[in-house]
Chain A
Amino acid sequence: MLGKLKQHQFLFEELVKRDFKKKYKRTILGMGWSVLMPLLTLLVMKVVFEQFFGRNMKHYTTYLFCGNLLFCWFSEATNAGMRSLYRNASIFTKVNVPKYLFLFSGSIQTLINFVLTLCVFFVFCALDHVTFTWKFVLLLYPMLTLLVFNMGVGLILSALYMFFRDLDYLWGVFLQLLMYGSAIFYTIDKMPAKTQVVFACNPVYRHIAYFREVVLSGAVPSLETHLTLAGVAVAAFAVGAWMYRHYNTRFLYYV
């Protein structure tokens, strides 16, 4: 796969450029908008939930932002990823190019967005008097695994979307469920142990928890956490890659 990627590097770069230009419509404001969106969600959540969940918590804004930051990335990446193959049908039905390039280029797009929001996140951390330690470097790890996980889920969804065009509605509903199940604005430590297991099975929540552990508690997450994050990401990616391989010449029938 990497060798092929190298061979198609020029195409990949051009696709990234195209997606970038289309997304931000060639305006500086366009970029601002995409950072503003998660901030607005954050503001709404802060206003609504602070009275209920944030009263006895230090750094509630940062707690909230950790959840929002990662969940928004996941939601945006999978939503965009889902349509990436279908949207480029006019290309791959005429030219023989590796189809995953479309998804990868979209992933770069959402990654840029994420990094921009991440910068804002650190500003907010500073404003919220969070102590910065060397352990913040560890945050690169969940970012990497979530990137791979997003791409994996994107591969799976984009393949399925070719067959079932109403998948976006279902995925929207699922994302909503996942949002409530990711403990973005509340904490789970007072919940029964059984319920906590459910949260532990949610990869998005695990990534959020990793962030919080490092940023808010200044702790190093366990080895088990590291392995789980990597395992889930690789598994999702493997399933997605297999689907692309398997359906490679069959997507054509469904356009």
Chain B
Amino acid sequence: MSDAKPMLFCQNVSIRYKVGDFKNIGLKEWVMRRLTGRYRVVDFWADRDVSFEVRRGDMLGIIGTNGAGKSTLLKAVSGIMEPTKGRIVRRGKVSALLELGSGFDSDLTVKENAYLRGAMLGYTRKFMNEAYPYIIDFAELKEFEDRTFKQLSSGMKARLAFAIASLVKPEILILDEVLAVGDGAFRKKSEAKMKEIIRGGAATILVTHSLAQVRAMCNKVLWLDKGRQVEFTDDVDGCCARYEAFLSKPSGPVRGGGR
């Protein structure tokens, strides 16, 4: 049941990143470099001319090697960054679960972090009060409720993050490598939950390195390589096969650092 209008629509999106000497330099260093002409900032196109659309009920998988521009693209989709060129149309609230385990405060307890995260995701306090027992139950962290976050394992953090985030009734949901965390049992549970959300009518974008996951869950694929769009297709199996072939080529893809 796809609507006529896409929930999310990206048209020729290009995103320019600045890289170079400007990061982590102090004022005096900056002045020195300006004076001696050694100040270099290089423009770097993280994404060039990417176009795709996602409709209600769709699950789009974004694949590509490190540094392909996946994370940057998601940042633009979620509104943290603005595309340098092109346009992004969102018809609904975007909830992004990027790098789930991070962004928590290590000095706060599980409960406090849960509320803070809920607030960040735009929930109301009333909603959080009602949902909290469920969250802690789903994350299986009942006995850790009052521990500070630094005492938790990264798997536990990701579990909590997922439990909170999965409560969104998002219109557009963005998942960045989220499903790859947790042990087998939790993974099953979270995948079931994800499917429930997708069935609920949301449009979902999943970024992952696991092709098995893409094959199992997605009905569309976007393949990026060094910022350029290689394919956007609903031939999931075909695209995954071509991507696998690309990965195993003797010259191999250049693995850069992802951002």
Please list the residues of chain A having a beta carbon within 8 angstroms of any beta carbon in chain B: 8, 10-11, 13-15, 17-18, 21-22, 90-97, 163-167, 170, 249, 252-254
Contacts and interface: CB of A to CB of B under 8 A. Distances in A.
A10 B80 contact: no
Interface string B113-132: 00110111111110010000
Nearest to A250: B18
A96 B27 contact: no
A98 B120 CA distance: 10
Given A10-B119, A94-B96, A94-B99, A18 B108 contact: yes
Given A91-B103, A94-B80, A10 B108 contact: no
B112 A93 contact: no
Residue among A10, A18, A163, A170 with max Cβ neighbours from chain B (10 Å):
A10
B230 interface: no
Interface of B: 17-18, 22-30, 75, 78-82, 94, 96, 98-99, 102-103, 105, 107-108, 112, 115-116, 118-125, 128
B134 to A, nearest CB: 18
Contacts of B115: 14
A170 B28 CA distance: 10
Given A14-B119, A15-B116, A94-B103, A249 B108 contact: no
Contacts of A252: 75, 80-81
A165 B26 CA distance: 5
Given A252-B80, A253-B18, A21 B107 contact: yes
Contacts of A92: 80
B18 A249 contact: no
7 contacts: A10-B124, A11-B119, A22-B105, A96-B79, A96-B80, A166-B29, A249-B81
